[in-house]
Structure 1
Amino acid sequence: MKDLLKFFILCQVILLLFSAQFVLSQEINLDAGEQVFSQTCSACHANGRNVLAQDKTLDLDMLESMGLDNVNAIIKQVTYGKNAMPAFGDVLSDDDIKNVANYVLSKSKAGW
């Protein structure tokens, strides 16, 4: 039983190390995110605003109220769209979506 517990703990440590390495390998490129935003998003979201739904800006407090105050939620929104927001999953690469999501979150935290 003691050996089984040691084996389980060892497996958890190995899994944790590989997970940390995977996260570190996912490089964030805010410059690339800014470029994607300028080319793809700024027509509707210039300076964090929203042309179609003016009350739904990209300001941090608004993102928080919509549950979009984290990168994964923004990635999902950009990929699949929702309401007036079109889906970009077939238009942008996964890296482009990840980078633009990080860019939007960083700009919203900085107050645009």
Structure 2
Amino acid sequence: MTKYLISFPSGEMDATPADMAAVSAASHAVVQEAKNAGVWVFGGGIDEDITPVRVAADGTVTEGTYPQTARIEGGYTVLEVPTRVEAEAWAAKIAAACRCPQELRAFMYDPAS
């Protein structure tokens, strides 16, 4: 089976602060549905209050990130499903819960993971 990354930038959510409790409940319901279906691998939101760092091979830590990834934020879900069609169906459920379109990407096959 293929692992898929389903994600969205937080600025794309179409929800007011008053809506966030309902959005949270809806997204947690989809997470539980994915867990019950046995397709859940991992998910969560990026903590935008914590500055990203880069860690070099020698352990040197540098505050900041690569220029092309400076705006990584929002929510991320990894599911493992048999087909892209099924991944698209899950992405649609997440889009409805989070009130914004989701980006879908497939991870390359790696027999060790």
Short-chain TM bin: under 0.3
* TM-score (structure 1 length as normaliser): 0.28
Q: Which has the higher contact order (CA 8 A, sep 6+)?
A: 2
Query: More helix by proportion, 1 or 2?
Result: 1
Richer in strand (by share): 2
TM-score by length of 2: 0.28
